[in-house]
Amino acid sequence: MNTIRRLRHALPRIAVSFAAAVAVLAAPPAIAQAWPTGPVTIVVPFTPGTGIDIIARALGARLAEKWGQPVVIDNKPGASGNIGTELVARASPDGHTLLMQVSTLVMNVSLFKSVPYDPVRDFEPVSLTAWGALMLVAHPSLNVATVGEFVRAAKAAPGRISYASPGIGTPHHMSMELFRNVAGVELLHVPYKGTAGAVNDLLGGQVQAMFLPVHVGLQHVKAGKLRALAIGSPQRSALAPDVPTLKEVGVDGVEVDMWYGLFAPKATPRPVVDRLNGELAALIAAPQLAGFFAGQGLVPATSTPEDLRALVERDLAKWAGVVRRAKISAE
């Protein structure tokens, strides 16, 4: 009898506990369904018109249509992307502030003495959005038509052949440093403040070589102003199918594709991350967007959040090694 009485008194508490457990289990889907409840900001930590900005605006416009909420692209350039990246790292993890980043996210950790964020611990990876291939090109005055000839010319005149980049620590710079290390050549780095000046001097022959996005380099190759030597990707580019990869010509281990991905602040609810991941996958698979990306020299791509996190961790180690061996500093 006492047992029955105790059980009867305990039933309200059990019911309350059960209801609370059900509420917790039901909360994640509810969070995802209710989100977004207002405008969503995608921070781009670089200037308008860059590849990363183009991706953010293309996806943002389509997401706004789908959600019925404004999607604002907020360009926050400065400090090689560190300013805008920190802003998102410190933002409220409610899914209304997101970060579109490129592989400089992981390069900066080694390039700067300190960065105000941790690329692994401070973000929830959402999905890859695209890959951008880089092409090794040379000015015709260098009189080389292949990577083999370029390497032989560099070894015959150590430090005499110059290459341009849009600045210290940019993917263009880091890619050439990786190439230089693997090929065993000495080259003179000439950093510029942006791509335009670097390309202008490359076309004028003031510098002899450079890694350029395929669609940028290809227009000058077709005009006879530059020579395409190789693609720094695992496979040949559909835009330049006749240009071999670096691996094909004997320079293995120099895969320098730039990846572009979307991130959210750490502790953003996983249901929101999963919903956004699925919606991005559907958008990026659409033929219209694929065609638009291709015209910008980009290869559409998606991933799971876990795969993007693994890519970030792998590239952190890869580029840290390049920076250490070449003794590069952005400061």
Hey, what domains does the chain have and what are their CATH numbers? 35-132+258-326 (3.40.190.150), 134-231 (3.40.190.10)
Candidates 216, 210, 217; CA nearest to 187 is 210
- Asked if the model's pLDDT at residue 13 lies above 50, the reply is no
Beta pairing partners, 32 = none
Per the prediction, the chain carries an average pLDDT of 89
What pLDDT digit, counting tens, does each position of 122-168 carry? 999 999 999 999 999 999 999 999 999 999 999 999 999 999 998 88
Whether pLDDT at 21 is above 60: no
pLDDT band at 31 (very low <50, low <70, confident <90, very high): low
Give per-residue pLDDT as tens, 298-329.
999 999 999 999 999 999 999 999 999 888 88
Q: What percent of the chain has pLDDT over 70?
A: 90
The residue with tokens 């506990």 is 17
**H helix intervals, the chain:** 2-34, 51-67, 82-89, 104-111, 147-156, 171-183, 195-204, 214-222, 270-285, 287-295, 305-326
Residue 106 is given by DSSP the state: H
Q: What is the pLDDT of residue 51?
A: 86
Instruction: Answer positive or negative: Cα dihedral of 260, 298, 321, 314.
Output: positive
Measured between alpha carbons, how far is 38 from 214 in angstroms, rounded to an integer? 38
